[in-house]
Amino acid sequence: MVFTLLSFLLVISISVLIHELGHFWAARLSGVRVNEFSLGMGPKVLSVERLGTQWSLRVVPIGGFVKLAGMEGDQTQGEDTFEGKGPLARAFILVSGALCNVLLAFALAAMVLHFHGVMDTSSTVIGETMEGYPAREVGISPGDRIVEVNGVRVGDWGSMAKTIRRHAPLGPLYLGIEREGTVIYKTVMIRKDDSGAYLLGVRPSLRRYTPLEALRGAYRYSVNLAFGIVKGILDWALGRNPVEVSGPVGIAVAAGDVARRGLWEFLAFLSALNLHLGLVNLLPFPALDGGRLIFVAFELVFRRRIPERYEGMIHYLGFAFLMALMVWITWRDVQRIVFGLR
């Protein structure tokens, strides 16, 4: 429980810090005064003033914010305020938080691909054997390559797994294994595990990408996941397909699970989470950065601004709706995870 909570706080703190740093640096580059940079919510625990900004750490280690001059109730006026800047500068400040989340997601994905690698399912080379499963018991070792299952040639992980699933219920498997250039044969008896599946107990080898391959792979991964996220949001909003949406409880459980598997699994999860957070923040909904961008776009198109009091009211209602939605999603998480309900 404690480990899960700490893992959750770590992923949230990193994600929020990167997001708010994006807003901070964009504001500074645009000449907007940043009154406060805060990590956490609630009463202040620590506070120090540097470079004209108050840096604070608050008691609840979830969330954070940057307080810009002339924004969020600050009535200060002048060229160094958010409201004193033109629409393009304000749009740059608003989009930079989500952009930094997306850039972090890309960088982490490239790092995982280059320094750790991903499972290579294009071959049947064994990367790891699992304790308590038949592969280890009969002496199959990492580096071995399975080339044949009951006389059927297999060339990739998918065809090997499919052939094993087809033949395992019928009796012992006769495996052809290439080891150091020589093919040896082993007879393996696979029984059902607790889930009812026939598992040999092996994992694929890892393939590490070159730096250029890692950048390309991270780009493809980010684009594909982004399209998947947008499609999932649309399906959920329109009720087209049942999509499982996770709130803080679901994210906490997932963070704890991946952290227990090791650093690289954790970094991959952090990458995916930041891509989610970045894209969700850009949704054109009041109170989100994307919702604020809609008002800036209106100003650019029609050359006039919606009165601040009306915009503030719309964002307030949007925030109230998002909080109610978060409570509902959290309750669904508790029902699913704690009580096993769907």
Helices (H), 112-145: 134-137
Q: Domain coordinates of the chain in residue numbers? A: 102-116+213-337, 126-207
Q: Summarize the confidence of residues 236-250 as an average pLDDT.
A: 72
- On whether the 126-207 domain is CATH 2.30.110.10, my answer is no
The span from the CA of 316 to the CA of 323, in Å, is 11
How many CB atoms sit inside 10 A of residue 180's CB? 7
Q: Which two three-digit tokens encode residue 319?
A: 């925030």
Residue 242: what pLDDT? 64
How far, in whole angstroms, is CA 39 from its chain's centroid?
A: 20
Q: Summarize the confidence of residues 251-269 as an average pLDDT.
A: 89
Q: Summarize the confidence of residues 297-321 as an average pLDDT.
A: 87
The span from the CA of 338 to the CA of 57, in Å, is 32
Q: Which H/E stretch holds residue 55? A: strand 53-68
Q: Which two three-digit tokens encode residue 225?
A: 């996941």
One DSSP character per residue, 184-229 reads: EEEEE---B-TTS-B---EEEPEEPPPHHHHHHHHHHHHHHHHHHH
Per-residue pLDDT band for 16 (boundaries 50, 70, 90) equals very high
Rounded to two decimals, what is the model's pTM?
A: 0.84
3-state DSSP percent of the chain in helix, strand and coil, to 5 = 55, 20, 25
Residue 24: what pLDDT? 94
How many CB atoms sit inside 10 A of residue 208's CB? 14
User: pLDDT tens-digit profile of 120-173?
Assistant: 888 999 999 988 889 999 999 999 999 999 999 998 999 999 999 999 888 899
Q: Summarize the confidence of residues 288-312 as an average pLDDT.
A: 88
Average pLDDT, the chain: 88
Q: Summarize the confidence of residues 70-90 as an average pLDDT.
A: 81
Q: Which H/E stretch holds residue 58? A: strand 53-68
pLDDT at 63 over 60: yes
Give me the phi and psi of 237, to 5 degrees please: -65, -35
